[in-house]
Amino acid sequence: MSLSNTIYFDNVSKVQLIALKSDFEKYINAALASSTRSSYQSDLAHFISWGGTIPSTPEIISQYLAVHADLLAPATLSRRVVSINRAHTSQNLPSPTKSDLVKATLRGIKRTVSTKQRQVEPILKNNLCDMVAGLEGVKGCRDKALLLIGFSGAFRRSELVSLQHSDIEFVEHGLVVHLRKSKTDQLGEGRKIGIPYARGAVCPVLALKEWLKLSEISEGALFRPVTRHGRIENINLSTQAVAIIVKERAKAIGLDASKFSGHSLRAGLVTSAAQAGVSSWKIRQQTGHKSDAMLNRYIRDARLFIDNAAGLIF
């Protein structure tokens, strides 16, 4: 891209971003979750700041992909294409992302780069029990409840921090969580998740009861920030805080914290359940997945050594 073009795009990018933000949000604000809208807007801002335009052309998009092939993961580039497509279709514009040129460019990048999408390590049941052992004080009590509920409910971190006191119901067999909305439930129909009392010494239901008793939370956010002086703030815990807590506890028991994230709780429930022989439809009942497709990568890894061909021979 020439210097004159760069200067031109620098001049128009701010104007175009403002206009795009207005039009884009108008059409998708009610249809998408806030986190999804934020991702789309971030992707479009990057595309436009580089020199892209809305509407765009197959040639411009393909050039954008080629320039960033060695800088961004194929999965990130694929998401950028989805965002660019949405920017067009939401304004009833023909989408250049559907062209053979764009598809071929993205396919070629995936084959050439062959970058394996990062997959975080799951927190398995035995890891979880070690992570919550010995947690004390206000923060320790909160972290114990958060980790156990996050794992048992197979919650995404955004779902976990959005839980309100009014969303939970203690019943004879444990806890019912009324999840009002999630990533795969854009219409907000909601669903119920059952978390039973545990048979062992580590119980998510009892841990949550202990946290509620200690914090005296009777309404509002279930999980909240705790200051270093033990004061509980009256706001929702952030999604970033969940990841930090997971990493801190993983490191504390000798695991490589860089391999774990907030998603490790959800992945851990799926993997642990698969190892225990739980059927995929029962796992989906807990996770909210619509099909087995997204579960298969966890289930395959979990069952690598179950009835293993080599193991049955030696």
Question: Catalytic: which of 144, 156, 157, 247?
Answer: 156
Question: Catalytic: which of 37, 191, 289, 303?
Answer: 289
Question: Catalytic: which of 80, 144, 247, 266?
Answer: 266
Give the residue from 52, 115, 59 showing the smallest Cα distance to 84: 52
Residue 173 annotated to the active site:
no
Residue 263 annotated to the active site:
yes
77 within 8 A of 62, measured Cβ to Cβ: no
160 within 8 A of 223, measured Cβ to Cβ: yes
Question: Catalytic: which of 21, 98, 183, 282?
Answer: 183
SS3 labels along the chain: CCHHHHHHHHHHHHHHHHHHHHHHHHHHCCCCCHHHHHHHHHHHHHHHHHCCCCCCCHHHHHHHHHHCCCCCCHHHHHHHHHHHHHHHHCCCCCCHHHCHHHHHHHHHHHHHHCCCCCCCCCCCHHHHHHHHCCCCHHHHHHHHHHHHHHHHCCCCHHHHHHCEHHHEEEECCEEEEEECCECCECCCCCEEEEEECCCCCCCHHHHHHHHHHHHCCCCCECCCCECCCCCECCCCCCHHHHHHHHHHHHHHCCCCHHHCCCHHHHHHHHHHHHHCCCCHHHHHHHHCCCCCCCCHHHHHHHCCCCCCHHHHHC
Question: Catalytic: which of 40, 247, 249, 298?
Answer: 298
Residue 111 annotated to the active site:
no
Alpha-carbon span 198 to 202, nearest angstrom? 7
Alpha-carbon span 292 to 184, nearest angstrom? 14
User: How many other CB atoms are there within 10 angstroms of residue 115's CB atom?
Assistant: 16
Gap between the terminal Cα atoms of the chain: 61
Question: Catalytic: which of 80, 157, 249, 263?
Answer: 263
Mind telling me the catalytic residues? 156, 183, 263, 266, 289, 298
